[in-house]
Chains A and B, each alone.
Chain A
Amino acid sequence: AQTVTQSQPEMSVQEAETVTLSCTYDTSESNYYLFWYKQPPSRQMILVIRQEAYKQQNATENRFSVNFQKAAKSFSLKISDSQLGDTAMYFCAFISGNTPLVFGKGTRLSVIA
């Protein structure tokens, strides 16, 4: 069974600074996708970024980028130029084939003015 581990329950960052959220996963599958979801206080789950396991190039979406290390089974999220609106819970998630999405326990990020 696949597992996803987020080892940082809480983090904080100053506005305009850069922060990195960690995620590791365990799987025997070769074809899979990894995701970062953001959950602001509104409770809505918002897809931030996705990475296909077969792509060596790290995904980027504006201020959000990932560091995907397939051999190490690591998938960290970097947020550059942090903004107050980035304050949220962030979940790392894994999917392979038609098996349901598996989530980590989340990291609560606070951006401080």
Chain B
Amino acid sequence: NAGVTQTPKFRILKIGQSMTLQCTQDMNHNYMYWYRQDPGMGLKLIYYSVGAGITDKGEVPNGYNVSRSTTEDFPLRLELAAPSQTSVYFCACLRGGSWDYGYTFGSGTRLTVV
């Protein structure tokens, strides 16, 4: 099993461009998450989903949108990219189907906005 798969691994965007970060999990879990990691700042929650059709904002949702049409996929959309969105983005889902085992993470997407 692949677990959580993120694409692309790297991307450079110009200011004002848009893109979608893809996230797919094959563990059939309802709970999925998007975090961003900035140097020295840990991981901050952008959006999360508790199942298909249900999404909610995290700590830093501005500039992003999500959708959850299937259990497997949880794409993150950046509209009008800004330099402040330069970061590493991680998708995750519950590990083992229960919150007491934390999360399984994808390998991350390094995004640079120039």
A residues near B (Cβ < 8 Å) are 4, 6, 9, 33, 35, 37, 42-45, 47, 50, 52, 91, 93, 95, 97-98, 100-101, 103-106
Contacts and interface: CB of A to CB of B under 8 A. Distances in A.
A104 B102 contact: no
Contacts of A4: 42
Nearest to A47: B102
Interface residues of B, number: 25
A106 B40 contact: yes
For B35, B40, B43, B107, which residue has the most chain A Cβ atoms within 10 angstroms? B43
B100 A52 contact: yes
B56 to A, nearest CB: 9
A97 B92 CA distance: 17
B102 A103 contact: no
* Chain A binding surface, main DSSP class: loop
B102 A95 contact: yes
Contacts, number: 57
B74 interface: no
A43 B107 contact: yes
Contacts of B105: 44-45
B88 A97 contact: no
Contact of A50 (B44, B101, B108): B101
